[in-house]
Each structure stands twice: as structure tokens, then as C-alpha cells.
Structure 1
């Protein structure tokens, strides 16, 4: 049995080894890596999936300032919308405008993502830009789109109006007169203009960064990346190696939990005795302040074996990343819980909510690592972030000592 097991392991090792050192695989990985920009100015600013920042970029692209393309981007985008929706009169505006365009672009005016107004031709375009968000269709105002229509019809009664519903997947708007558009149309427009027009280096960087942002956040399909990955997955030999690698993939959240507990023990328990580690797991890492000596602190029930009522708790999950919270747990003495909640309610340091929950009530929290950072960064980088955030928390002027001072009368 042991010999069979060793042969299987040796076979798996050779499959993975041959995969890693395969010249064709290395070339494909290099192409995949080169498909994502190393320097993306928009990702640096934290653009991601934030609709407001996307709308700001679109406002810049659709304008005639800085990039010196006049309204070519806007016009090309509108032509694609016209092809998709077959809009009456829009073609006339694009090709046979009576006057030279004099466009003003408003962002978040009356909560409308983009309002593009051509004062010279009395034409306007209202764009509702949805990034991983749904349309609100209920409410006394008739829903989100109806509300915007009412505002625009009131303020611009004599203008020709076009309402555009910009979504990732060409979703159907609740209003029939809203035109469907997606972000793929914008990428196609930018690619076409890049090929056919002389553009400045700054404009090129923004074009490439925006396109890269849309692709890396799943807003637009990265067709080239998909093609490269298919070349690997469709090769049966490569697929065997990938299956083996996937089976041996480390669990990043277990690694984070183990490292975090090790750091707490070595730096803040063994060396300084600042804290006491409580019951912990992959998803929850708990500890208490060693100065919390009030006997009522040990009167808890139904939470941890220590019976502590007040605990710091790291939440470690794919849904929210790594966060540190201070939580009032269940207790046999409700007056003690009430006292803790009262202190938290009367101090700006805490955010306990309006009412004390029956069992667990969070009164304070900070983010340690976002779920995006966990997905994108190496474990070594994550360890550096954990070290930095722990040092900040436990430093003499940090949150740990500030909270200790606020709670000392009831907890010591």
C-alpha cells in the first residue's frame, strides 16, 4: 500500500514538474501576466467598482477638454447605442446637427450619474451607470428611472431627451424609453479611437488604465485573457497538473489565522502580557485585555470557555476580509452588559448601535485587511500589513490603550 502511495505521489510530482518547466506553458503565463497593466493609474486611486469614480472618468472621456478629441468618444459611443436600440432621431443628431455642439456635462446633478446637455442643439443625454448594482424600481417617486425622468422633463421641457441605462450585461431597464448600453461599447470605442487617432501619452495612459480596470474587475470580459487561459485548460496534460496544484492549494484564511495568533502570542502575551488569548478558530481569533479584572467579566455564558463577557474578536473571512471588533457577549448579569453599552453609547470612540442586542453587540471595529487585498496580495505582503496594523493598534497612543482608558472604571 505504501509503495502504491509513493508511486502516485511521484507521478503527481512529475506531472507538476513537467508543467512548470514546459516552455509553452511559460510563454502562455508570460502572455497572461503581460495582459494586465503593471501600472494602472485608476487602480492606484482605488477606483475599482465605485460608480461615482467610473462616472467621473466617463465625464472626462465624453468631454472635449484635455484629450483634444472634441466629442469623438461620445459620438462613437452614441452610434453604438443607436445600432443596438435603433433610436428615432438620434442618427440625425449625430450626422446632421444644425449647430456646432456646445456640450456641458454634469456629474451627480440631482443624483443622475451623468447628464450631458448640448445647449446649442437643445439635446440631452441622461446616463444611469450601474456597476454591480440593481435598479431601484419601488418608492413613491415611481422608482429611480422615473424620478430622473420627472426631474429632467421639468428642468428641460423643450429639449430632445435620450435616457441611457448603462449596465455590465445590457440589463433591461424598467422603463421602455430607456436605451440599453454596456461598458463593452466604451472599450470598443476607446480601442477604435486609439487605432485611428493620434492621441497624447496622457490620454493613452487613461484609455489603457480604464480599459484594464474594467477588465480586471469583471465589468468587461477580457477576451484575450480568456483565450490564453483556454489554451492551458483545453490541453489535457496541463489540466492534470492544474488539478493537482488546485488540490494542494493553501488556504489563505487558515494561514492568516495561524500567523495572527502567533504574533499575538509572541509580541503581546509572552513579551508584554498585554492581552490574553481566548478561544479561536480560522474565522474568529479572540483575545481580552489583561487589565480587565472585574469579576463580572467572567460571568459570561454561551460564548467561549473563558466565560469572558467583553472580547476583542478578529473576523477573518472571504466576505469581509480581516476586521478587528470589540464585542459585548452574553452574560448572566444584564446590568453589567447595560453598563458597558451605556459607556459605549456616551463615547464617540464607539459605535454600539441604538439598542443593546440580547447576545452579541459590536461596539467598535477597524479594518485590518480588505477582501480585495486578500485576493490580490501575496501572503508575505499580507503578513506585513498585519504587523503594521497590530503595531498601530498596540502602540502607546493607539486604540488599545485609548479603549483601556475609557473602560478602566468598569473593567478594572
Structure 2
């Protein structure tokens, strides 16, 4: 992270805010009435619950928007050698459907239809390419870049073109940009294709070959199609039903949203609980809480002259703190040196730079008037929030905390406590 002032830091790292609903000014009796209307005898809500309550194996394993897992299942269906009993049928139907969407098809669809692709290799993450189809018999190669939510990286598609041109010089080449809605790629050679079309092709193949598919394969394919339509496609029957329900019961839904559980607040409460639990045994202090920040400090540093030299940050005047950054879908610990004497700040950073600790920046510009984040250690990321509940998040936070206080934090505390400059020279600077 670039060194910033606290105000500019907050502005630059804000997560997109959820639009606030209109203020709800109703009596308790009115609130109860609209909730009863929403919940009781609501056929649309019952229909929605019936659709989304159906068990889906891919939802159960947290696959909803994870590109890697989607690519893995598509690879399974594309591979003629897999045990799905589809042979090369899905592969050929997919290629033909993609070519039908191309403004200028690089290959004739009839050639695909009459060719044998039983020799096709389906490579995953080869040269960082999501999916690569290679048929030696047909001298054919197809690259599929899979983007469920992510966007292109700079020069990503051009790099793949260059790799394929070098490795498959004499092959017919096809490039596919697979996204939720068939978004256009940045390179003209890439054919845009949507997940909705993928779902339709899979469903068609599944129905055509139902008699030859085993029950477990048929169910798995049906579950995948349902997953795509529930979570990837915007214009699904579920989306239409949701819009209808919201239009008819907006007040009730807004009222429920106003009183929704707040995962971020729950995480904050658990971190405070952990700090208090270990406060006495580990001699640590909950310094302050401010919006997304939860700050912790070792108590023994308070007896060293360097520590209480930062006015205008927290009420404790501490200059060096461990700071939990509690974002809506991200949690990490920052090592932060607040504004203060350059000599003290440099001494802290130089002392820590000799240690083998996680997340410490090897090069960090120290500024006297700014907050310097000299280290960042991740705890939770977006996948934890997508795949887990509060209990699983708490378990991961606790496991991290137990390891950290006996590991990196312990090393840092000992190094600071034994630093001669911070014990003696820091006092002289403070007195001056």
C-alpha cells in the first residue's frame, strides 16, 4: 500500500456502498401488518422458496461464482475420454454454437460437425490459460478464457494469442471469451460467448442422451445447469420472480433489510472478544475502535519512551499499533506507525526489517507526518465470506490469532523491547 494520510487513505480504499433504502416511518402495528402480508399467503414468495430451497451439489461445495471450479466442470464435459458417456458430443455442439455467434468465423461449422474429436486434449491452466482444447488429428486448437466476475488483465488475451501462435504453429485457431452475459473482449480475434448459452447446450445434450447417462451423471449435469441459471444468468425466472416480489412488497423487504444481520459487526464483536480473552495472559490492550479499524498494543511498550509520542491519532497517544482492518469481505492485520518523530519511526521499521516475519514490506518510505503501513497480514478474503458462515469465520480468525500472538507478534514485541535506541534515545527525543 502507498503511504497515505489517514483521510486520503479512507477515501481511496472505500468499498462500494450498498444503496440505502428510503427511511421507514411506521408504527409497530403498521410494520407488523406489512410483514404479515409479505410472509403469510404469498404464493410468489412460496414459489421463490421452492426454487431456491432445492438442494444443489455445486452450491453445497461453494462453487457459485468460483471460476476455477466452473472451468473444472466444463473441462469434464468437454473431455471425450471422461466417464460422462457423451463422447465428443458436447465439445462439438459447443464449438458449433460459438461459431454461430461469431461475426467472422475462423473455421467452418460443417468441418467441426463432420470431424472426429475423440482425440481432443482438454488442458486446464496450461500457460495460465483457463481452458485449451487441442485435437492433433484435426490440427485444431481452441482457447477459452473464463470470466465469471473478473475482468481482463492488461495484455492478457494478447499474451495467450502469442503463446498459442508459438506452440501450435500449423493448427487452425479459435479464441473464446466466456462471460456471464457475452461481454465483448478487448481483442478482435476473440469470440464472445455467454454462460446462458453454455447452460442451454448442456441441457440439450443432457436431454438428448438421457437414456445413455447414468443417474449420477444426469443429476450432476442438471444441478450445474440450475446453478448457472440461479446465480450466473441475470435474466432467469428466479430473477423475474424476485423483481415481482420486490415491486409488490417493497416496504416489507426494506424493513427486513434494515434489520438484517451484519457480518462485519459480528466479526468486529468476535475480534474484541478475542482480544479481551487474551488481554491478561498475553499482556495486550484494546487500544481503540474506529469504523473499520480495531487497534491492539502490547502493554509493555507503554513503559518505553518511544510509544506515547503520537498525539492526534488515538486517545492513548501510542505511535506503533497492530491494526485489524475489518472490511465487508476482507480482514487483515496491519502494522501501523502513526505520525511522529522521524527518528523513532525509522528505528521501529529498521528493527523490524531485520526480522523474518509475515507481510513486512521490504521497502517502505517512512514519512514523519503520515501513517505508515509497514506490514500487512491477510486473515480472511472474499472466498471465506462466500463459502462460510459466521462460525467458520470465527474459527479461522481464532486459529490465526493463536498462531500470530505466539509467532510474529511475539517476535516483534521482543525486538522492540530489546531495541537500545527505543529504550534510551527515544526518551531523550521525547524530553526534547
TM-score (structure 1 length as normaliser): 0.81
What is the alpha-carbon distance in structure 1 between the residues aligned to residue 308 and residue 117 of structure 2?
77
**CA gap 1:232/1:52 in 2 versus in 1, 3 angstroms:** closer
Q: Paired residue for 2:203?
A: 191
Instruction: Within 5 Å, give how 1:5-16 maps onto structure 2.
Output: 8-16=27-35
Name the residue aligned to 1:294.
Answer: 304
Counterpart of 1:80 in structure 2 is 97
Which residue of 338, 341, 362 corresponds with 2:373?
362
Q: Secondary structure at the match of 1:340?
A: helix
Matched, 1:57 2:57: no
- Aligned pairs for 1:313-332 (under 5 A) are 313-318=323-328, 320-332=329-341
Correspondences of 1:155-174 after superposition (within 5 Å):
155-174=167-186
Q: Which residue of 2 aligns with 1:310?
A: 320
For residue 20 of structure 2, what is the aligned residue in structure 1? none
**Corresponding residue for residue 110 of structure 1:** 127
**Partner residue, 1:19:** 38
Shift in CA distance, 162/240, structure 1 to aligned 2, threshold 3 Å? same
Count, aligned residues: 390
- Quickly say closer, same or farther: Cα 1:123–1:219, change in 2 above 3 A: same
CA distance in 2, matches of 1:182, 1:214: 11
User: SS state of the match for residue 30, structure 1?
Assistant: helix
Give 1:314 shift.
1.2
Task: Name the CA distance, whole Å, in 2 between partners of 1:162 and 1:182.
Answer: 16
Are the aligned partners of 2:133 and 2:143 in contact in 1 as well (CA < 8 Å)?
yes
The residue correspondences of 1:4-403 to structure 2 (distance < 5 A) are: 8-22=27-41, 24=43, 27-28=46-47, 30-35=49-54, 37=56, 39-40=57-58, 44=61, 49-64=65-80, 65-85=82-102, 87=105, 89-97=107-115, 101-136=118-153, 143-198=155-210, 199-204=213-218, 206-208=220-222, 210-211=224-225, 214=228, 218-221=231-234, 223-235=236-248, 238-265=249-276, 267-269=277-279, 271-272=280-281, 274-292=283-301, 293-318=303-328, 320-332=329-341, 334-350=342-358, 351-358=360-367, 359-374=370-385, 379=390, 382-383=393-394, 385-394=396-405, 397-403=406-412
What's the offset of the Cα at 1:253? Answer: 2.6
Higher relative contact order structure (alpha carbons within 8 Å, sequence separation ≥ 6): 2
The separation in 1 between residues aligned to 2:119 and 2:317, in whole angstroms, is 70
Give the unaligned 5+ runs of structure 1: 138-142
Task: List per-residue Cα deviations over 1:47-85 (Å, max 9, x = no partner).
Answer: 565544443433222111222211111112112212222
User: How far apart are 1:285 and its partner, in Å?
Assistant: 1.0
1-structure distance, mates of 2:407, 2:240: 50
RMSD of Structure 2 on Structure 1 (CA)? 3.3
Report the CA distance shift for 1:102/1:184 in structure 2 as closer, same or farther (over 3 A).
same
